[in-house]
Copies of this chain bind each other. A is one copy, B any other.
Amino acid sequence: MPAPGTVSELALIEAIGAVLARRAGSRVVRWLGDDAAVVRADAFAVTSVDVMVDGTHFRLGQAAPADIGHRALAAALSDLAAMGAAPGEAYLGVVLPPSLTDAQALALHAGAEALAAATGTTIAGGDIVAGSCLTVAVTVVGWAGAEEPLVGRAGALPGDLVGVTGTLGAAAAGLAVLEGRAQEAGVSPAAGHGAALIGRFLRPLPRLAEGRALAAAGVHAMLDLSDGIASDAHRLAQAGGVRLALDAGSLPLAPGVTAVAHALGRDPSELAATGGEDFELCVCVAPEDRAAAEAAAPLTWIGEVLAGTPGVDWRGEPSGAAGWRGFEH
């Protein structure tokens, strides 16, 4: 049975409320302080939940509280990006362990709020409870005036080109740098793209504008690369009932990923394909829409869609990448 609200709990909730802001043009009619938030809707709500746990998705200490708030919101917003939806509101459910100070709890919310401000999202509510393990459960809601412009994972057609935004492998490489595992390759927080890679791990930026532009450009299918293209490509293939032929050598590596991969004794493409949490977008595009898609967002083309048993064929998969094919389930 939880203890009724104590004075210090209420003070923390009040302090958190003070760092949150309703955005200009926000749909929020009633927010903090009622049993529930009330939001003026558009025709369709697009909703996703993302949970991050200390020890699984981050380690407090390695990641600052503000990074953790940013990252949990970023991962959830990335799902909206992958649908081509505009972000609206976010709700933060946070489990605070006794070891976390009020200042740290506040910093976590401030980190989320900074990303909310940068993306036009209003943090409209949440819940704060006591527990043993720092956990951030983020629900994000985006809005769309019609269903058609929203892009799902299904819809890829044989003949489509497969493209990705940005660069891959950065988050996995950033974590390795953060943990001091890339020093023999000369990559550290102070050298060899180390700071940028760490930033990609701790502060990923959801591709919201790119997702909406790609949806408007008519891409057939889209998802965000949260687990890594090696497994996420299978989701596209299964959802669309198609076969993807992808080229490992074409994967766009973030600067510094090759050096970090060598320090780890791994193939750079394999690190980029399996590392995950880059939160770039992967799209399937009709060849005639190629120029429109490229105008919507910088893309690297990494393969094509074929008819056949749903699955993924990799060209140029490095022979030493044990387990890569293992993701073909």
Q: Are B139 and A53 in contact (CB under 8 A)?
A: no
A133 cross-chain contacts in B, Cβ below 8 A: 95, 131-133, 135
Known: A56-B129, A127-B50. A4 touches B223 (CB 8 A): no
Chain B residue nearest to A29 in the complex (CB): B147
Tell me which residues across on chain B come within 8 A of A92, comparing CB atoms: 49
Kindly name the residue among A56, A224, A327 whose own CB sees the greatest number of chain B CB atoms within 10 A.
Answer: A56
Q: Which of A288-329 contact B (CB under 8 A)?
A: 327, 329
**A4-B276, A93-B93, A230-B4 known; A45 and B49 CB under 8 Å?**
no
Q: Is A39 a contact partner of B49 (Cβ separation < 8 A)?
A: no
- The answer to whether A137 and B227 touch across the interface, beta carbons within 8 angstroms, is no
Verify B129–A38 contact, CB threshold 8 A: no
Give the segment of A16-24, A81-89, A158-166, A184-192 that binds chain B: A81-89
| Residues of chain B lying within 8 A (CB to CB) of residue A195 | none
Name the contact of A41 in the complex, choosing from B30, B37, B43, B153 (C-beta under 8 A): B43
**Choice from B124, B153, B277 contacting A33 with Cβ under 8 Å:** B153
User: In the complex the two chains form, what is the Cα distance from A131 to B53 in whole Å?
Assistant: 6
Q: Does A196 contact B (CB under 8 A)?
A: no
| A49 in complex: contacting residue of B10, B139, B150, CB < 8 Å | B139
Does the CB pair A47–B53 fall under 8 Å? no
- Nearest Cβ on chain B to A321's Cβ, whole angstroms: 13
Chain B residues near A7 (CB-CB < 8 A): 329
Contact residue range for chain A? 35 or more
Query: A132 contacts B129, CB within 8 Å?
Result: no
Set of chain B residues within 8 Å of A152, measured between Cβ atoms: 30, 34-35
Is A107 engaged at the interface, CB distance under 8 Å to the other chain?
Answer: no
A:32-85 near B, CB below 8 Å = 33-57, 79-80, 82-83, 85
Interface residues of A in 209-233 (CB under 8 A from B): 223-224, 227-228, 230-231
A36 lies within 8 A of B85 (CB)? yes
Out of B1, B40, B47, B175, name the residue touching A36 (CB < 8 Å). Answer: B47
Q: Which residues of B contact A80 (CB under 8 A)?
A: 35-36
Q: Find chain B residues with CB under 8 A from A125 CB.
A: 47-49
Closest residue of chain B to A138 (Cβ to Cβ) is B93
The list of the 3 closest CB pairs from A to B, nearest first, reads A137-B137, A53-B131, A41-B41
A-B contact pairs, 19 of them (CB 8 A): A2-B57, A4-B276, A10-B329, A29-B147, A34-B152, A34-B154, A36-B48, A37-B48, A39-B46, A41-B43, A45-B141, A47-B89, A47-B124, A49-B127, A50-B127, A52-B129, A53-B130, A56-B131, A93-B139
